[in-house]
Structure 1
Amino acid sequence: MQNKIFEGIASHRSIRKYKDQEVSDDIIHQIAETAMNASSSGNMQSYSIIVTKDKKLRKKLYPLHFKQSMVLDAPVLITFCADFNRMRKWVRQNRAPMNFDNYMSFMIASIDATLVAQNFALLAESVGLGICFMGTTLANAHEIGRVLNCPANVVPVVGFSLGYPDEAPEVRKRLPLSGVIHQEKYQDYTPEQVGEIYQERETLGMKRYSEVPELKKMMKKHRATNLAEVYTKVKYTRESHITYSQNVLTYLSEQNFMNHS
């Protein structure tokens, strides 16, 4: 089974190099309007989309996105925020109970934001634009939110660079379907199945990371001899993820998403 949607998704790749070419507001708005047809809990559309073109603002965001080159090289940054600020204002104006200030509301809004972000990304690619999702959006949500002037009940959760590609990297392999899909109920993995699922990823991943001088140096420093060690000793350490977790939880409280009463 093949059609343009299948072909478009199958050809996705992260773009980190962009042409010096403006992306018009008209194109962005057309993409956003269609992307908003994404499923949404209660059709509340509890998200906001921040389009950042200003170079001064992007320079402020650059270190917060761990100095990833596309923050400055791409003409646009798109940030999708979990947003119950707008909904709560509407609720207040209609003298209804002031809900949506709890963790469940944050999760609902985060899912809404992620669904519309994926729609936006697919639509952007369908008209010749390129994107690169940045996990730093959530990792540094507290600082990014302040730069983007996010009020209470608004938290950046998903973001990507956007522009016309100036590179054509190969499509990266994903895990085999047999390692992801479960029939009827979850079937836990045997050691043999885990080895088979990650076999190709191990080979390709180590080759890829070994070709990046900075990562190769880090791998040697931390004595990372396999891909699992690269992930846990170099890229996503326990210490870093605990720090990010604490930052996000603190920020959620500051942004009025942790009301337990």
Structure 2
Amino acid sequence: MKTIFNHRSIRQYQSKPIDQALLDKILEAGTRASTTGNMQLYSVVVTRNEEAKAKLAPLHFNQPMVKQAPVLLTVCADLNRFNSWCEFRNADAGYDNFLWILNAVVDASLFAQNICVAAESEGLGICYLGTALYNAPEISEALELPKGVIPLTAITVGYPDQNPPLTDRLPLSAVVYNEKYEANTEERINSLYAEKEALDSSRKFVAENAKDNLAQVFTDIRYKKADNLHFSAKLLDFLKAQGFQF
């Protein structure tokens, strides 16, 4: 609980390498996560090589920690291994569809989060990189991922060289519903987001981007509709190329 409640995204790392035995222990902790039917529909590509990290960095929008962290983990939703097992056992696999993409995404997400908690409990820092989905085709090519494998997220791992403050979170009442979902009326939304919008950091975001409010920073600056549509279409094409049917 202490590890979980003290989570921080670390974007600056010491040059100190991670011992292989420790990394193996952390990755094994990942495999103890819950999984669909005990199928373990995930895999991870470990990148330590400096040249390899430099090749991947532009695909993660050149975020400095990609090259600075001693280890970059690319966590994948992976149907390829299970499909291959079925093929070699004369079993007719039907896992090339949308349902099983989602099952594999759940498996890989649980695997990734276990890795992160384990790493932080050992004194390491981590940072999730959502950019893996934005450039999934290019990352797939760089890592030579076969059909049925989707790069879902990347995680930088290393010894922290910073101690940033805890990131704000919405109140528990924003995400917990008792018995049934509660309508998000304007009054409810105003109440739930009041503290976030009042933060100095939020006000700074709004002022720096010349917007009326924090929501507009997200919709107009950080995650624009045009970009969303572009990368969504790109990802859908990639999923089809990886052998999934819709």
**So what's the TM-score if we normalise by structure 2?**
0.96
The separation in 2 between residues aligned to 1:40 and 1:150, in whole angstroms, is 21
Answer yes or no: is 1:77 the counterpart of 2:42: no
Map 1:16-27 → 2, pairs under 5 A: 16-27=11-22
Please tell me the residue identity of whatever aligns with 2:82: M
User: Is contact 2:206–2:213 with CA below 8 Å preserved after alignment?
Assistant: no
Alignment size in residue pairs: 245
Indicate the SS of the match to 1:48. Answer: strand
User: Is contact 1:105–1:257 with CA below 8 Å preserved after alignment?
Assistant: no
Q: Which residue of the partner structure matches residue 245 of structure 1?
A: 232
In structure 2, the CA distance between the partners of 1:122 and 1:105, relative to structure 1 (3 Å rule), is same
The separation in 2 between residues aligned to 1:72 and 1:59, in whole angstroms, is 6
In structure 2, the CA distance between the partners of 1:16 and 1:256, relative to structure 1 (3 Å rule), is same
The separation in 1 between residues aligned to 2:34 and 2:202, in whole angstroms, is 37
User: Is contact 2:35–2:107 with CA below 8 Å preserved after alignment?
Assistant: yes
Task: Give CA-to-partner distance per residue, 1:16-62, whole Å, 9 cap, x none.
Answer: 00001101221111111122111100100010011111111111111
Answer yes or no: is 1:61 the counterpart of 2:64: no
The separation in 1 between residues aligned to 2:146 and 2:175, in whole angstroms, is 38
Q: CA deviation at 1:203?
A: 2.3
The separation in 1 between residues aligned to 2:158 and 2:16, in whole angstroms, is 7
Please tell me the residue identity of whatever aligns with 2:181: Y
Structure 1 unaligned blocks of 5 or more? 1-5
Task: Give CA-to-partner distance per residue, 1:88-125, whole Å, 9 cap, x none.
Answer: 11101110103211111111111100001000000000
Map 1:79-94 → 2, pairs under 5 A: 79-94=74-89
Match of 1:227 among 214, 217, 226: 214
Structure 2 unaligned blocks of 5 or more? none
**So what's the TM-score if we normalise by structure 1?**
0.91
Identity of aligned residues (%): 40
Q: CA deviation at 1:145?
A: 1.0
The separation in 1 between residues aligned to 2:218 and 2:237, in whole angstroms, is 26
Please tell me the residue identity of whatever aligns with 2:244: F
CA RMSD of aligned residues (A): 1.3
Q: Which residue of the partner structure matches residue 105 of structure 1?
A: 100
Indicate the SS of the match to 2:150. Answer: strand
Q: Which residue of the partner structure matches residue 8 of structure 2?
A: 13
User: Is contact 2:206–2:212 with CA below 8 Å preserved after alignment?
Assistant: no
Q: CA deviation at 1:83?
A: 0.6
Please tell me the residue identity of whatever aligns with 1:91: C
The separation in 1 between residues aligned to 2:152 and 2:22, in whole angstroms, is 23
Please tell me the residue identity of whatever aligns with 1:182: Y
Q: CA deviation at 1:71?
A: 0.5
